[in-house]
Amino acid sequence: MAEQQIITDVTQILDIELTTVTAIVSYIKRHEELHTLVSASGDIYYVSNKERPRIVNQLVRIVIKATGWSPTIFEITESVYQSYKGKIDSTRSQKSALVTPNMGVEELLISAISDGVSDIHLHVWQESFIEGRSASDNEQQNISSSWIRFRKHQILVSAARISYEGAYNIYRAAFTSELYGCTNIDDRKSNDASFQYHHQGKRFLVRLASLPEARGTTMTFRIRNAEDRVDLIDCGYSSKQLDIIDHFTNRNAGLLVIGGPTNSGKSTALTAILAQMTDRAILSYEDPVEVLLPNVSHIQMRRDGADAEQAIRELMLQTMRMDPDVINAGELRDELMMSFSKEKATEGKLTTGTIHCGRIIMCLNRLLQLGMSIDEMAAPDALLGIVAQKLIPVICKDCALPEHPEPKIHNYYQTHLGGEINYRNPEGCNSCGNTGISGQMVTSESLAINSAIRALIMQKDWLAIADYFWDQEIETLHVDALMKIHQGKLDPQMVEQRIDSFDSDNLRHYWHKEKPEQGNKLRGSV
């Protein structure tokens, strides 16, 4: 390598396209001190240093193994490397700087929608507030005291720092302008509003919420594409789970519950289920109405306000005069809606609803809290089944790492989960907008309530229901996630952050069947 000509001018390497071969990219990331570039054709550009030859030789072997080509090696100066990196970093920051300091609601919404953002977090912060000084004492201090963050595929990233005045104007305009929220707001209280927004021929539903806090106000915009319909088969359910869901939707009576936290795809799943039932009369109660389906009557239900309860009771009465086959009760969050749903389900209507619970057993508990008695739950044809789900970010396949950069973490998952595991690349690549994430998918568990489960419900024996899952090889949330990890779609660390740890209990079905000795090892370690 010593005879290599040294490249001293950055223009000589500016047009090289960097490799995206994962093994090479991850090796370079682990040895960033190497200051090396590898082109798409496998050529290596490295900054010489006498401590580095061993690492460069290893890189040469990796390039040969991954591409089959013998690389040409160029030595570059440190300044050439740095100016190349500078160019890359500045294109990167230009790409992420979608948000400018002086934008209004319109520009903010357009930039979020164009980037596929699901939520905007606006922190209207007056830094001086907390220090007991007014903003005008020191205007400089205020220039970027506020903050805009975007959530896309569940990952929250910083979009821009802006001035308090700029942020406050966006917050006020979003809520009060006739174009948007059109509501009266009080800075000292929490505020809510929603509006429809049209962009490039598509209809979006935007929900606003704000809370006063120590430095000012925190506000969120939740953006949903009102035409964004997903087929059930594309939601991410396994074929076993799709069979269970099909079994539910073919029934004529009973309650089907979909559980999950906020942003778990519950409404998307319900919409997909209702969309399939083209030959039935469906009434759907929603707050607010999001996606319109041709085979469904969507009814806006007002759930807040002084006379909301009365309004809901009137809707319930009217429901039966409308001769529906299927009723979607929407979110079951209070006893009134719970009693409505169980009444319709036992009267011989297929009824659907959602609850805020991530696991099947918690959903059973929550139904009890909402006023469904054990007897009602265990009655034949009352509760049909439960689907509990969460949405997990999918790692970008173009830049996923085959090894976790931290050997400790890599060994941990390799020992506990086995198989081939990919990890999110925190640096990302061009195709994932440098996030390492390319989308999100459902992980879920589904349970059809049969006579065995009914007997266990009568005894309120939740532990025995958990055992039943393992005995019957029902895919739990963890087993479903593990299958998707082994398909290279999910990062185990992100799964654990969003579900909970892969401990021995959560995987015992999988381990007992496949690798009992590893199951024991796992059991000993937790």
Which stretches of the chain bind Zn ion, using CB under 5 A? Answer: 396, 398-399, 428-429, 432
Per-residue CA distances from 65 to 19, 38, 420 (Å): 14, 14, 19
* Vertex 477 angle, CA 519 and 392, to 5°: 115
Least distance between Zn ion and beta carbon 423 (Å): 12
Q: Which is nearer to Zn ion, 383 or 399 (CB)?
A: 399
Distance, in Å, from the CA atom of 342 to the CA atom of 331, rounded to the nearest integer, reads 13
Q: Which is nearer to Zn ion, 254 or 433 (CB)?
A: 433
Q: Which is nearer to Zn ion, 23 or 173 (CB)?
A: 23
Residue whose CB is nearest to Zn ion in the complex, by number: 396
Judge contact between 129 and 118, C-beta under 8 A: no
Least distance between Zn ion and beta carbon 405 (Å): 15
Residue pointed to by tokens 């809290």: 369
Per-residue CA distances from 449 to 144, 341, 367 (Å): 55, 17, 14
Least distance between Zn ion and beta carbon 149 (Å): 20
Least distance between Zn ion and beta carbon 398 (Å): 5
Task: Transcribe 16-44 into DSSP letters.
Answer: PPBP--HHHHHHHHHTGGG-EEEBTT--E
- DSSP secondary-structure letter at 500? -
Judge contact between 477 and 444, C-beta under 8 A: yes
Q: Which is nearer to Zn ion, 474 or 485 (CB)?
A: 485
Q: Which is nearer to Zn ion, 104 or 426 (CB)?
A: 426
Least distance between Zn ion and beta carbon 434 (Å): 7
**What counts of helices (H) and strands (E) characterise the chain?**
19, 17
Distance, in Å, from the CA atom of 475 to the CA atom of 359, rounded to the nearest integer, reads 12
- DSSP secondary-structure letter at 432? G
Q: Which is nearer to Zn ion, 393 or 519 (CB)?
A: 393
Least distance between Zn ion and beta carbon 26 (Å): 12
Token readout for 69 is: 């080509």
Q: Where are the alpha helices (DSSP H) in 218-329?
A: 239-249, 266-276, 308-321
Least distance between Zn ion and beta carbon 426 (Å): 10
- DSSP secondary-structure letter at 161? E
Peptide bond into 407 cis (omega under 30): no
Q: Which is nearer to Zn ion, 153 or 224 (CB)?
A: 153
Least distance between Zn ion and beta carbon 394 (Å): 11
> In the beta sheet, which residues pair with residue 444?
389
| Region for 386 from its dihedrals, namely left if φ exceeds 0, alpha if ψ lies in -120 to 50, beta otherwise | beta
Supply φ then ψ for residue 191, to 5 degrees: -130, 150
Cβ contacts of 308 within 8 Å, gap of 6 or more = 302
Q: Which is nearer to Zn ion, 357 or 429 (CB)?
A: 429
Distance, in Å, from the CA atom of 95 to the CA atom of 109, rounded to the nearest integer, reads 17
Q: Which is nearer to Zn ion, 18 or 143 (CB)?
A: 18
Q: Which is nearer to Zn ion, 115 or 505 (CB)?
A: 115
> In the beta sheet, which residues pair with residue 354?
258, 331
